[in-house]
Structure 1
Amino acid sequence: MTAWIDVCAVSDIVPDTGVCALLGDEQVAVFRFGDNEVYAISNFDPCGEANVLSRGIVGSIGERKVVASPLYKQHFDLRSGECLEAPEKSVRAYPVRLTGERIEVAAN
């Protein structure tokens, strides 16, 4: 059974930006894309070796919704965590959902 952790209200995140949440000892970058799309990936940027992805620039490359790392500008797919420039540097993607006005991230 999946354990869902309440992170914040969707209104706590400005559209097309992200925030960092702590799930246990893991930093997770939670993004709001547009009004009601939410995504969660690891906050750790493996290229810059720092927890900064929640501060990246959210956008699209073709049909893919991505965040550009604020350090070296690699793009990470918000759905899968794949690093577009270096797939071997991909990050974990977390299941995320809206429950009413609350954002929940799967803890396992």
Structure 2
Amino acid sequence: MTGRPGHRAAEEWQPVCRMAELEVDRGVTALVHGQAIAIFRTGDDAVYALGNHDPFARHTAGGISRGIVGRRGETPFVASVAHRHAFDLRNGRCLDDHHVTVPAYDVKVVEGVVLIGSRKVPAA
């Protein structure tokens, strides 16, 4: 990372694992850019990354990566283990309380390697 604030360089894509190492509909945690990130692979081989913090579980260990992956219509989500709140895997927005979000991160797969990029800018 360069010393210029706000600068997003190509080298900020951090490889975390091989796609084949991710179990379908299960989360894993990785330290990416100094943040605990929950990474999910869904049945259609899409890969998503969210901040691994459950905003509803103030005093319990674990995080979003331990949640249950599913779908509501076309929306892929993870439901937190502690309180069962569902978070959209695409943008981190809570499906049960639209005022709550967790950070979502850019993800790409290159030659079978999962790379995590910048935090996505929340939609207005």
Structure-2-length-normalised TM-score: 0.81
Aligned partner (choices 55, 64, 67) of residue 56 of structure 1: 67
Shift of 1:107: 4.3
User: Where in structure 1 do 4 or more consecutive aligned residues deviate above 4 Å?
Assistant: none
Partners of 2:20 and 2:44 in 1: CA distance: 9
AA matched with 1:98: V
* Counterpart-to-counterpart distance in 1, 2:106 and 2:33: 16
Q: 2:62 & 2:32 partners in 1: Cα distance?
A: 14
- Unmatched runs of 5 consecutive residues or more in structure 1: none
Percent of aligned pairs with the same amino acid = 39
Residues matched between the structures, number: 108
Corresponding residue for residue 39 of structure 2? 30
Work out which of the two has the higher radius of gyration on C-alpha atoms and give 1 or 2.
2
- 1:25, distance to aligned residue in structure 2 (A): 2.7
Pairing of 1:1-108 with structure 2 (within 5 A): 1-2=9-10, 3-34=12-43, 36-49=45-58, 50-107=61-118
Where do 5+ consecutive residues of structure 2 fail to align? Answer: 1-8, 120-124
Name the structure where strand makes up a greater proportion of residues: 1
Provide the alpha-carbon RMSD of the alignment. 1.4
